[in-house]
Structure 1
């Protein structure tokens, strides 16, 4: 059975559609959704089987994953990561935005997600659809970039093409308009000496 293809307004997401997605996530769904950078794939971080499905689709072992979370805001982040004063100031300045912060994980991070490492990647995208989803869900969702089935473009941008590629692997593909093709900037904020791990869409300067 192919995935659902759901169009959601990127600036003013329809509540009925968001709640439909949230209900599916609570029942173990894997979804593809827009962010402020590239389209991402994810699930409820507390659903082990769904996390394992995402790992299989990505072709990796669940305990070797490099998944990040999408949180609604800074207060949400503090539930799952330890944030130093300097990191908090930087995140307050840059978020919501196209950044992934690597932070020390708290003990609330599910074991399947940090079995081999003690850090976690955190995102608060400047994108209404995923933020509304996690707000209604009450906890973060996984975010991992999807790659194009194409040698020229690394990331797919057309939701209909994404649906064609993934319709038999996931449960829902959200059309929130054309996506970007530049990923987030990754900043290691586990110490006060911030380090850029990957330069992406987010312009970073201390």
Structure 2
């Protein structure tokens, strides 16, 4: 089911209903500031299990944690280096995945199968997700939408593949195929693991 929300002022009433469904184990597909993503409540065992099955991936496959802001993200990671913190503060929200050392508060429902203690955190620049994260009590667990080994950026194609498998698909139109830039912040410095969207801002700093 495709859901239409106002792109600049998403209806909080509808997002409140989505939040409730996520808490009950639902899974939705949202447009992000990069590609479409499957999202579940990070504390919902049923939702995360469904997410893995929909994506047909191993539970050892890393997922991302979507947070509303740095303050929320800091609840789940070890202290960053000064350099990494300053960079995160300057470029978020935005199309970046920060690989950080997780602390003991990491949602084990979502990340108990990971072999290491690192996690990818995103603070997406998406009005839909930002508004949802303001309402929802927990961060969201997310993974990009793709099938047949290809990312899907057309909402109609997503509807054909996932329409009867998820609780709803937020229509963000046809997105450009741009992946997030991945930054490794687990050490004293910062290293770029993947160049993607937003590199022009990083290069300008």
- TM-score, normalization: structure 2? 0.91
| 2:103 equivalent to 1:106 | yes
Write the distance in 1 (CA, Å) between the matches of 2:112 and 2:36.
23
Residue number in structure 1 paired with 2:118: 119
Matched, 1:170 2:166: yes
Choose the corresponding residue for 1:159, options 148, 155, 159.
Answer: 155
Within the candidate set 85, 88, 92, 1:88 is matched to 85
Cα distance in 1 between the residues matched to 2:154 and 2:77: 33
For 2:167 and 2:198, locate their aligned partners in 1 and report how far apart those are by CA, in whole Å.
30
CA distance in 2 between partners of 1:7 and 1:185 (Å): 28
What is the match of residue 66 of structure 2?
70
Select 1:36's aligned residue among 25, 33, 38: 33
| Corresponding residue number in structure 1 for 2:15 | 18
Q: Greater shift after overlay, 186-195 or 155-164?
A: 155-164
Q: Which runs of 5+ in 1 are unaligned?
A: none
Distance 1:180 1:117 in 2: 32
Among 23, 30, 45, which residue is 2:42 paired with? 45
Residues 7 and 175 of structure 1 are in contact (CA less than 8 Å); yes or no, is this contact kept in structure 2? Answer: yes
Q: Secondary structure at the match of 1:79?
A: helix
1:86 and 1:193 map into 2 onto residues whose CA distance is 7
User: CA–CA distance in 2 between the matches of 1:94 and 1:60?
Assistant: 30
**Structure 1 residue 65: Cα displacement:** 2.5
CA contact (8 A) 2:84 2:189 kept: no
What is the aligned counterpart of 1:187 among 169, 178, 183? Answer: 183
Q: Tell me what 1:136 maps to.
A: 135
Cα distance per residue 1:142-194 (max 9 Å; x no partner)? 12111154x7xx32222122111111321111112322311100000011221
Of 73, 76, 79 in structure 1, the residue corresponding to residue 75 of structure 2 is 79
1:145 aligned onto 2:141 = no
- Deviation, 1:125, is 1.0
Q: Render the CA deviation track for 1:79-100: whole Å, top value 9, x for unaligned.
A: 1112312211010011011100
SS in 2 for 1:133: helix
Corresponding residue pairs, total: 199
